[in-house]
Amino acid sequence: MPDFAEPLARLITEFKRLPGIGQKSAQRIAFHVLRASRDDAQHLSQAILDVKDKLGLCEICNNISDGQQCQFCRDPARDQHTICVVEEPHNIVGVESTRQFNGLYHVLHGTLSPLRGIGPEQLKIKSLVDRIAHGSVEEIIVATNPNAEGEATAVYLSKLLKPIGMKVTRIGMGIPVGSDLEYADEVTMWKAIEGRREI
Amino acid sequence: MPDFAEPLARLITEFKRLPGIGQKSAQRIAFHVLRASRDDAQHLSQAILDVKDKLGLCEICNNISDGQQCQFCRDPARDQHTICVVEEPHNIVGVESTRQFNGLYHVLHGTLSPLRGIGPEQLKIKSLVDRIAHGSVEEIIVATNPNAEGEATAVYLSKLLKPIGMKVTRIGMGIPVGSDLEYADEVTMWKAIEGRREI
């Protein structure tokens, strides 16, 4: 016998498909929705559809956007000379959280990965080159992930853009602030020594 | 400047209102929905509305149900002589997971709590008494939570139902199976000694 009435079982199944949500969390959330008001459920339901129906990609930087251009690209106060290149739209949140970076972004929507058949054509690299050709960009900061694929992508971009006179930089790697040296792995430790700065 | 386009920000806010989901999880889930197919988003959205629109309470036991009676009450194979009383519909899952109990259920939808103004009239106690009066019930197993309010409710039910000739039992309390005696608190330890059984 099923533990739950059909609509409830179906909602639990749907929640379980979301990242980081297991059986117990899915049950808990489903019962929460069941107890919530019809209005609250309606708002959640509509919000899910709206992200699919009302959002697209910014025509300039490929960030998620509710208009032709995202909030960064249409803001004249942002520094037009620097572009921070990230893998995915959600990586922008991390950079913005510093409240220090005031340039523009470019979202690649992935990283180079020959094993998975992802080459430069599958990424938003051509539009980055076009931006550089037609804009006043002076520096490209490559903020892809610090793993093999992110590094390969950074090296590729550097080889592609330096010959056309662009300054290409990579975000610094080293010991995370507030952590303990004892727990740093050897690669991070070496990156920290390599990236040392005069004090 | 907002980090996210409006529909995305709204979905993150909606997800954050769900139990156990913080800012980071909400962002992760919202981006997952954004990347999912329109069909998948539609299914999730519809499932949320369906639990509000298609479910009600079983007219017999007050469990969540998609019909007038829940799957337990309409199953003639369930033992009609035993009723397990629980606080909330989701507690039934825990009892069913044992695959040992084959009786019926009764959902109180809360516990007695004078401090919060919840007396017997606010709980589904009258319908339990009616079931006993008109059925062939022989035993009431009280499976409310092992805390002050759950205990008070159990004692109340016992005092109410024993005079009308009903056998009222309480689920056993003691050391959880697989745990370590060292970590048992003193009340649980006492309950375990009190509830000892001959071997």
Q: What does the DSSP assignment read for B20-33?
A: T--HHHHHHHHHHH
For residue A161, which of A119, A123, A128 has the smallest C-alpha distance? A128
Which of B11, B19, B27 is closest, CB to CB, to A51? B11
**What would the mean pLDDT of A40-53 be, rounded to a whole number?**
95
CB contact under 8 A, B27 and A64: no
Percent of chain A surpassing pLDDT 90 = 73
Q: Measure the CA dihedral B150/B153/B159/B160, to 10°.
A: -140
Q: Coil, strand or helix: which one is B93? A: helix
What does the block give as tokens for A101? 């970076």
Which of B6, B27, B66 is closest, CB to CB, to A7? B66
Mean of per-residue pLDDT scores for chain A: 91
Residue A159: what pLDDT? Answer: 95
CB contact under 8 A, A19 and B41: no
Q: Which fold has domain B6-54?
A: Helicase, Ruva Protein; domain 3 (1.10.8)
Buried b (16+ CB within 10 A) or exposed e, B143-170: bbbeeebbbebbebbbebbeeeebebeb
For chain A positions 75-134, those within 8 Å of chain B (CB to CB) are 75, 88-90, 92-93, 96-97
How do the pLDDT tens digits run along chain B, 199 residues long? 677 889 999 999 999 999 999 999 999 999 999 999 999 999 999 999 999 999 999 999 999 999 999 999 999 999 999 999 999 999 998 898 888 899 999 999 999 998 999 999 999 999 999 999 988 999 999 999 989 999 999 999 999 999 999 999 999 888 888 888 788 888 888 888 888 877 7
CB contact under 8 A, A28 and B20: yes
- Other CB atoms within 10 A of residue A88 CB: 17
Give the closest-approach CA distance of B170 to chain A in angstroms: 23
pLDDT of A182 higher than 90: no
Output A92 or B1, whichever has higher pLDDT.
A92
**What would the mean pLDDT of A117-123 be, rounded to a whole number?**
93
CB contact under 8 A, A1 and B40: no
Residues of A in contact with B101 (CB under 8 A): none
Alpha-carbon distances of B122 from A58, A72, A130, B116, B128, rounded to whole Å: 54, 54, 68, 11, 13
Cβ atoms A12, A27 nearer than 8 A: yes
Tell me, what DSSP letter sits at residue A142? E
Provide the number of CB pairs (under 8 Å) joining chain A to chain B: 159
Residue of chain A nearest B69, judged by CA positions: A5
Cβ atoms A169, A142 nearer than 8 A: yes
DSSP per-residue letters across B40-87:
HHHHHHHHHHHHHHS-EE-TTT--EESSSS-TTTT-TTS-TTEEEEES
Burial of A134 (0-12, 13-18, 19+ CB in 10 A): exposed
Residue B188: what pLDDT? Answer: 85
Residue A22: what pLDDT? Answer: 94
For the domain A57-198, what is the CATH code?
A: 3.40.1360.10
For chain A positions 6-25, those within 8 Å of chain B (CB to CB) are 6-8, 10-11, 13-15, 17-21, 25
pLDDT of A1 higher than 70: no
pLDDT of A61 higher than 70: yes
pLDDT of A197 higher than 90: no
Q: Coil, strand or helix: which one is B195? A: coil
For residue A137, which of A63, A59, A60 has the smallest C-alpha distance? A60
Residue A188: what pLDDT? Answer: 85
Residue A173: what pLDDT? Answer: 85
Q: Sketch the domain layout of chain A as residue ranges.
A: 6-54, 57-198
Angle (nearest 5°) at CA A75 between A70 and A80: 100
Percent of chain A surpassing pLDDT 70 = 99
d(CA A160, CA B113): 70
Q: What is the pTM of this model?
A: 0.77
Residue A166: what pLDDT? Answer: 93
Residue B104: what pLDDT? Answer: 95
Residue B30: what pLDDT? Answer: 95
